Structure 1
Amino acid sequence: MRNFGIILAHTYKNRLMSKAFLISTAITLAFMLVLTNMDRIFMMFEEDAESRAVEVALVEEGSELYEPLNEQLMQHEDRIQLTRTSLNEEEALEAVSSGEFGAALVVNRDSAGDIQATYYSDSLTQQFTPIQLQNALQHIKETEATQELGLSGEVLADIYSPITFETSTVSDTARTESELNQARSIVYVLLFVIYFSVLIFGNMIATEIATEKSSRVMEILVSSASPVAQMFGKIVGIGLLALTQYGLIFLVVILSSLAGAEQAEGGLSMLQALFSEDIPLDLIGFAVLFFVLGYLLYATLAATLGSLVSRIEDVNQVIGPMNLLVIVAFFIAMFGLNAPESSFITITSFIPFFSPMIMFLRVGMLSIPLWELLLSIGLLLASIGLLATIGARIFKGGVLLYGKSSALKDIGRALRMTRK
């Protein structure tokens, strides 16, 4: 047990102080800061755009569209300043080119009396102005059409008013629509957490072992600590490293979200929108449980595979099949968000390499029988135990294997070495 603690502390400290971990954590925290403040960033750009109103020269044969068009545009807080001119189309284009106007709108009517318009500017990268002009002209056309049909504004509003349509369930155990939306959000977040955790930290475990093998440190460790202590010391050490990083991310998100909620006048922060109601404690408990079990399963597999290679360059090759399993599980779970009751999702939720994502998906979205949940967890625990037992034997022989790696052949060689 003492050797286990030493290996755990050594693994955690070395990785925690590594440049790669510090840089990746800093980049991740910066990204989360941007993400949680996205609404304020957009608002900042909008305020900047509002400070530079676009002056648009209106060119039309008559003067009947200026008043209704300007009335529509005034609803957008003067971001578009419409100017009536006596210029023809060519003169308006020259005025835009010289910078006298920001843009020009040429409006006329066809033989049927329908509105036709062409928008000119020196750049089409700003889409707000032409879209608002188009919407305003469309509204004018609809108003003219309703007047010709003799329809009042009240009648037209009644026609376009949405119907009342609600969804409900006859089951007492089924989740409500708001609970489903909340559960779907939590499941969606956890799927990404498990996905990236396995890919990043599983690769880190395999790389850690391959690095020690390449430096021949492993030969000393084998004689001073049991294979199980070595393997799980690294698994738990890297796991604590992952929790440290996630803890920092969660802290930054919480503080940034709370700061945004204080500055927003009656608005909701990102976390408040995600967790707008009381979160079921059982769902949080299952999220932690399946995350830990999923990590242990894939981390044990990564440590086993990492012990078979003696060069860091071979790590990606040997853990490629494991990464493929994670990717397949992730895409199945993404499909399951829209069809959690499908037979395919039900069957795959009992496959140990898929169940950390897919069974949690079903738990979050559905009311499943207790026996299904217990069976899935039991299969996961049995798989972790079996993989740990076999993996420890492979690890014991694998850490002494050097040379070119060949996956299945090396597994057999590692097992044979443990019998010597």
Structure 2
Amino acid sequence: MREFWIVFKHAFLSKAKAKSFYITTAIMVAAIFLFANFSKIIDTVQTITGGDETENRLYVVDESGELVGKLQAQLEVVGSDLKVEQAEDAEQVLMEKVTSEEIDAFLTVSVDEQNTIQATYTTMGLLDFSMPQRIQEALQSIQTEMKAEQLSLTGEQVQTLFTPIQFEQKNVSPSAKSEEELNQARVLVYVLMFVIYFSVIMYSSMIAMDVATEKSSRVMEILISSVSPVKHMFAKVLGIGSLGIVQIVIYGIAGFIALRTSATEVPGGVSDFFSLSDINGMTLAYAAIFFLLGYFLYATLAALLGSLVSRTEDVQQMIMPMTLLIVAAFLIAATGLGNPEIGYLKYASYFPFFAPLVMFLRVGMLDLPMWEPLLSIAIMVATIFLLGWFGARVYRGGVLMYGPSRSLKDLKKAIQLGKE
């Protein structure tokens, strides 16, 4: 076991001491804090640089002369800071100002013979959607008041016209969660799916590249004279895996601190969206389990494939099938974020290479019977042992193979060389 721990320590420390590790970790931590405080940063920049007052001002061409004041009052009711101002210029002049970008937009309103508001919002902004929608909603409220006054309806009578029905959705499926629980679970599952996906790809590729680098530099010949190829493979898998766990823990701590320090009293903000108060402990436990199993599954496969190439340039080509598997798993799981009860997700969650993401999606968003995730975990564990046994046979001969790689055709040659 001494040789095993020496290789394990070398695999861990060689990557942990690399500048790329520190730079990557620092960038990711900075990105986490930046995202958590994004709204504060935007507000600070606007305070320092000063906002353009024309962005919060709407010029209105009101032929009736009665709608400008009502529109301003209605916008204030809904909490909008938009300032409505009666335009002194003609519509053609305002059109020229919009075209020359002197102003962002203007509104033309009038009332026809049927006492119906006619409005035209003119702008140069291709993505200007929210502002027209707010103005339209405000004008619709004014229209309702005008029609109610025309029909001699009181305010209470108008309210009764818009009384919502009592509608309740009852799901009798044994695996269903409430809509609130489903929305909370969806956010957590989405974030953790990305963590599992990128971690498995990154660290598995790191293992394959590390094995290929040692082979191309002929260091492998010295290593296997002191330690068996099997011990070398699993020590490298565990060493880089441990480094990955440390890095993810750092990201988790940084994320927790960032969300706590950026918490505001404004409801509905980022802190509420990623609130940790309602997180299901079992979901986090399953995330850790499926991350570890997914890592060992793909890392063993990556070490196997990395042992077949003699040049680092061939690594990406060799591990392409493995990369396509994890990409397919993520795409299948992503389709279930809207409806986790889709039929094919159940079958995909028992396929070992899809299970880390697909079964985690199902167990995070549905109330599944215990035997389903346990069966998926058992299948993955069995696959890891089988892949480890087969991978050890390939690795034993693969690390001694040199020359151009012929992709997966080298598997048979590696097994035969390992027997010798």
TM-score w.r.t. length of structure 1:
0.86
Deviations 1:253-301 (A, max 9, x none): 111111112xx12546646544455544333222211111111011000
**Separation in 1 of the partners of 2:181 and 2:133?**
37
Contact 2:308 2:411 in 1 (8 A): yes
- Correspondence for 2:249: 247
Deviations 1:91-133 (A, max 9, x none): 5567879999776444334565543344556877766655544
- Correspondence for 2:18: 18
Contact 1:202 1:302 in 2 (8 A): yes
- Correspondence for 1:286: 286
Deviations 1:199-221 (A, max 9, x none): 11111111111111111111111
User: CA 1:374/1:314 → structure 2, altered by over 3 Å: closer, same or farther?
Assistant: same
- Correspondence for 1:209: 211
**Separation in 2 of the partners of 1:403 and 1:229?**
24
**Separation in 2 of the partners of 1:122 and 1:180?**
40
**Separation in 2 of the partners of 1:361 and 1:277?**
20
- Correspondence for 1:89: 91
**Separation in 2 of the partners of 1:403 and 1:306?**
14
**Separation in 1 of the partners of 2:56 and 2:241?**
55
User: CA 1:408/1:93 → structure 2, altered by over 3 Å: closer, same or farther?
Assistant: closer
User: CA 1:50/1:94 → structure 2, altered by over 3 Å: closer, same or farther?
Assistant: closer
- Correspondence for 2:117: 115
**Separation in 1 of the partners of 2:398 and 2:343?**
40
Q: Quick check: 103-112 or 11-20, which moved more?
A: 103-112
- Correspondence for 1:139: 141
- Correspondence for 2:323: 323
User: CA 1:130/1:353 → structure 2, altered by over 3 Å: closer, same or farther?
Assistant: closer
Q: Quick check: 69-78 or 20-29, which moved more?
A: 69-78
- Correspondence for 1:361: 361
**Separation in 2 of the partners of 1:340 and 1:132?**
34
Contact 1:11 1:237 in 2 (8 A): yes
The answer to whether residue 352 in structure 2 is matched with residue 352 in structure 1 is yes
User: CA 1:351/1:129 → structure 2, altered by over 3 Å: closer, same or farther?
Assistant: closer
CA deviation after TM superposition for structure 1 residue 358, in Å: 2.1
Q: Quick check: 29-38 or 306-315, which moved more?
A: 29-38
| SS state at 1:415 partner | helix
User: CA 1:233/1:158 → structure 2, altered by over 3 Å: closer, same or farther?
Assistant: farther
| SS state at 1:340 partner | coil
Q: Quick check: 250-259 or 52-61, which moved more?
A: 52-61
Where do residues 266-305 of structure 1 align in structure 2 (5 Å cutoff)? 267=267, 270=270, 272-275=272-275, 277-305=277-305
User: CA 1:399/1:126 → structure 2, altered by over 3 Å: closer, same or farther?
Assistant: same
Match of 1:180 among 182, 191, 195: 182
RMSD: 3.2
Deviations 1:349-377 (A, max 9, x none): 22111122222233233343444333322
> Which residue identity lines up with residue 393 of structure 1 in the other structure?
R
> Which residue identity lines up with residue 378 of structure 1 in the other structure?
A
User: CA 1:81/1:170 → structure 2, altered by over 3 Å: closer, same or farther?
Assistant: closer
| SS state at 1:224 partner | coil
Where do residues 375-414 of structure 1 align in structure 2 (5 Å cutoff)? 375-414=375-414
The answer to whether residue 24 in structure 2 is matched with residue 35 in structure 1 is no
Unmatched tracts of structure 2, length 5 or more = none
- Correspondence for 1:166: 168
Contact 2:54 2:104 in 1 (8 A): no
- Correspondence for 1:193: 195
- Correspondence for 1:66: 68
**Separation in 2 of the partners of 1:19 and 1:191?**
27
**Separation in 2 of the partners of 1:382 and 1:99?**
65
**Separation in 2 of the partners of 1:100 and 1:361?**
50
**Separation in 1 of the partners of 2:144 and 2:182?**
39
**Separation in 1 of the partners of 2:330 and 2:415?**
32
> Which residue identity lines up with residue 23 of structure 2 in the other structure?
I
**Separation in 2 of the partners of 1:129 and 1:178?**
29
**Separation in 1 of the partners of 2:293 and 2:80?**
57
Q: Quick check: 185-194 or 347-356, which moved more?
A: 185-194
**Separation in 1 of the partners of 2:165 and 2:307?**
63
Contact 2:57 2:85 in 1 (8 A): yes
CA deviation after TM superposition for structure 1 residue 177, in Å: 4.1
Q: Quick check: 403-412 or 67-76, which moved more?
A: 67-76
User: CA 1:116/1:30 → structure 2, altered by over 3 Å: closer, same or farther?
Assistant: same
TM-score w.r.t. length of structure 2:
0.86
> Which residue identity lines up with residue 157 of structure 1 in the other structure?
Q
**Separation in 2 of the partners of 1:125 and 1:360?**
37
Deviations 1:389-418 (A, max 9, x none): 111111111111112111222111111111
Q: Quick check: 251-260 or 106-115, which moved more?
A: 106-115
The answer to whether residue 198 in structure 2 is matched with residue 226 in structure 1 is no
Contact 2:104 2:125 in 1 (8 A): no
CA deviation after TM superposition for structure 1 residue 168, in Å: 4.3
**Separation in 1 of the partners of 2:285 and 2:35?**
26
CA deviation after TM superposition for structure 1 residue 41, in Å: 4.3
| SS state at 1:223 partner | coil
- Correspondence for 1:6: 6
Contact 2:307 2:399 in 1 (8 A): yes
